[in-house]
Structure 1
Amino acid sequence: MSVVDRINDTYPELRNAEKIVADYILSNLSRRFDKSITDLAKAVGVSEATISRLSRSLGYSGYQDLKLSIAAGGAYDEVIPNLPAEIRETDQPLEISQKLSDALTNSIRDTRAFLDKQALGLAVDALCASNQIVFMGVGGAASICLEASHLFAKAGRAASYVLDDYGQIVTASTMRAGQTLVAISHTGQTKSVADALQLARKAGARTIAITSDRRSAVATAAETALITWKHEKTSVALFGDFIEGRACQLYLVDLLFILVMFRSEQNEKDNLRLTGNALKDFYFSISS
C-alpha cells in the first residue's frame, strides 16, 4: 500500500495531532519530502512523538521508514489534489473509468445514508411554500446553482441564482418572508454564503444549506442543513472541491426538485409539460 492509501485507510482512527501531520504530508506530496523529524515537527506545530506515533499507526517502523516509503513509492508523482484517492496517473483509461464510477456511486450512497428525514422534510416544506427560490454558491458550487435554478424554472417556479459575493450579500439583505435561500458549499466555509444565510434568515426568509460539514459556518447559519458525503482527507485549498462532493450536491438538488414537484400545489407537473411543449414547438420551427 502507498502512503496515500495507508493514510486514507487509517485517518478516522488517528488522533487530531496525527491528522495534522497526515494532512501536511498529503498536501506536500508534489514536493521532495526530505524534512527531518525535528523540522517536520516545527513546520506543523506538533511534537516529535506525535510524528513517531503517526508513522507506527500507518504501519511503519518509524519516521525514517515513512520517509523512505514516500520516496520509493513516488507518491508525489501519483496524487493530484482532490481527485478520488484511488485513481493513479499510471492507471489505464478503463481502470480510471471504473474507479471514478465506484467513487461517485459510493459517495452518493453515503450521502443518502446521512439524510436526516426531519431536515429533508423541512427543506421540502420551505420550497413548496416559497414564492421565490434563490440559489447561492461560488466556485464549483456555482454550476450546481445553475442546474438547480434551471430545474425549478422549467417547473414554473420563480428561481434564480447569485454566484458572486457582492451580489450574494445584496440579494440576501433584501429577501423577505415567503422566499427561500438555498446555499451550496462543499466545505461549508464560504464566507459570503454563510453571511448571506444569516442576512436572509434574519429578514424572515427560509434558509437551506447543502454542505459536507454540519459544524461549518454555512451549516450553522442555515435554518435547515442537508449533509453530503465528506472525504476523510482534508480538501487542499484552491484546488477545487472533491469531484465526489459535486456529484452529491447534484443528487440532493435533484432529490429536492422531485419531492417538491410531487408535493407542491403550484402546478409544477403541468408547467413541465407547458415548457416542454413550448421548447418542442420552438426548435421544430427552427428546423423547419
Structure 2
Amino acid sequence: MAKVDIFSQIRSRYNSFTNTEKKVADYILENMKAVIYMSITDLADVCHVGESSVFRFCKTMDLKGYQEFKIALAHSLSLDEENTVLSSEITMQDTIEELSSKILSTNVNALNETFNLINEKDISEAISSMIKSKRIHFFGVGASLMTAMEAKNKFMRITNKTECSVDSHLQIMTAALLTEEDVAIVISYSGSTKDTIEVAKMAKERGAKVISITRFAKSPLTIYSHITLLCGSNEGPLQGGSLSAKISQLYLLDVLYAEYFRKTQSESTLNKEYTAKAVIEKML
C-alpha cells in the first residue's frame, strides 16, 4: 500500500462526510497517535457512534476496513517523524546497547501491565471451566496461532484433552462441533480478526465456554466471549506479531497453566511424569 497522508485526505474530504463520519474524523484528527492503539469498538465508543459507522468511514476513505485504515494512519504519522521508527521507542540511530535496553524495557512493561490487568475472579472462573471441560481447544490465526500452538504444547504435558487446529477451515469446523462440555480459548491481539471472531461466535452458539486472550476489553471478539483476559502490550498496526505482545499472552497462559496444575496436582503430576519419560527417550 502506498504511503499517503491520511490526515490530508480526511481534511480534503471533510465536507462530503455525513454528520456521523465527521464525529469520527474529528476525533481522529485530534487524537492521531492514540487511535493507532484503539480497537474499532473503542473508537466507536469514544465517538458515540456504532462500529458500522466507523467501518463506513473507512470505506468512504477508499479503504477496505479498519485495519487498513490503521496501517494508513501509522504510515502518515511516520511521515511526520524525523527518523524512521521501528517501534514506538526504537530508532535507526540507536546503538546495540540502547536497542537492547529499549527492547528489555518494552517487554518488562508489557509483563507488568498484564500483571496489573489480571482479574483473579476471571482466572478462577477460567480454570474451573477448563478443569470441568471434556476438551480444551486453543484457537488463533497468524502470530496468535503460534501462541495457541505453544499453549497446546504446554498443557498437553499435564492433560490429554487439549487440541489446536492450524488451518482456519479446520478451526471453524472444530468450533461447529463443540458442545457445552468444551472450552474454547481464543487468542487475538486486536480482537478484530475475522476468522477468529467467526470461531468465537460459532463456539458460543454451540454452547461452549469461550475465553478470549486479547488486548482490548471492548472489541468484536469480546462480544462472543464469556471471559476476557487482557494482555498489556501496545502493538502498532505496522508491528504485527511483536514479541512483547506474544510474551504478554504467553504470560497469561503460564498463569493459567500453573493454576490448572495446582488445582489438579495429583493428576497433573502423574501426567507430567509420563510425558517427561516419553520425551527423554528422544534425548542423547
TM-score under structure 1 length normalisation: 0.71
Q: CA deviation at 1:51?
A: 9.2
Partner of residue 180, structure 2? 177
Equivalent residue in structure 2 for 1:188, among 174, 179, 191:
191
Partner of residue 17, structure 1? none
- 1:91-106 to structure 2, matched below 5 A, reads 91-106=94-109
Q: How far apart, CA to CA, are the structure 2 residues paired with 1:201 and 1:51?
A: 33
Supply the AA of the counterpart residue of 2:228: A
- 1:87-236 to structure 2, matched below 5 A, reads 87-231=90-234, 235-236=236-237
Q: CA deviation at 1:155?
A: 1.1
Q: Is the 8 A contact 2:212 2:228 kept in 1?
A: yes
Q: What CA RMSD, in Å, does the superposition of the two structures yield over aligned residues?
A: 3.1
Percent identical: 21
1:266–1:138 CA distance, 2 compared to 1 (3 A): farther
1:163–1:73 CA distance, 2 compared to 1 (3 A): same
Partner of residue 254, structure 1? 254
Q: Is the 8 A contact 1:41 1:51 kept in 2?
A: no
Q: Is the 8 A contact 1:214 1:220 kept in 2?
A: no
Q: CA deviation at 1:131?
A: 2.2
Partner of residue 85, structure 2? 79
Secondary structure at 1:163 match in 2 = coil
Larger radius of gyration: 1
Gaps of 5+ in 1: 1-27, 56-68
Please give the per-residue CA displacement for 1:54-81, whole angstroms capped at 9, x wherever unaligned: 79xxxxxxxxxxxxx9879523xx213x
Please give the per-residue CA displacement for 1:194-252, whole angstroms capped at 9, x wherever unaligned: 22122222222221100011111111211111011142x7x326x52443211111111
Partner of residue 273, structure 1? 273
Q: How far apart, CA to CA, are the structure 2 residues paired with 1:219 and 1:72?
A: 34
TM-score under structure 2 length normalisation: 0.72
Please give the per-residue CA displacement for 1:66-101, whole angstroms capped at 9, x wherever unaligned: xxx9879523xx213xx3x11112211121111101
Supply the AA of the counterpart residue of 1:157: N
Please give the per-residue CA displacement for 1:234-284, whole angstroms capped at 9, x wherever unaligned: x326x524432111111111110111011026711111122112222342x
Q: How far apart, CA to CA, are the structure 1 residues paired with 2:78 and 2:146?
A: 36
Please give the per-residue CA displacement for 1:4-42, whole angstroms capped at 9, x wherever unaligned: xxxxxxxxxxxxxxxxxxxxxxxx9x9586x9x865612
Partner of residue 41, structure 1? 11
Q: How far apart, CA to CA, are the structure 2 residues paired with 1:142 and 1:49?
A: 36
Q: Is the 8 A contact 2:184 2:203 kept in 1?
A: yes
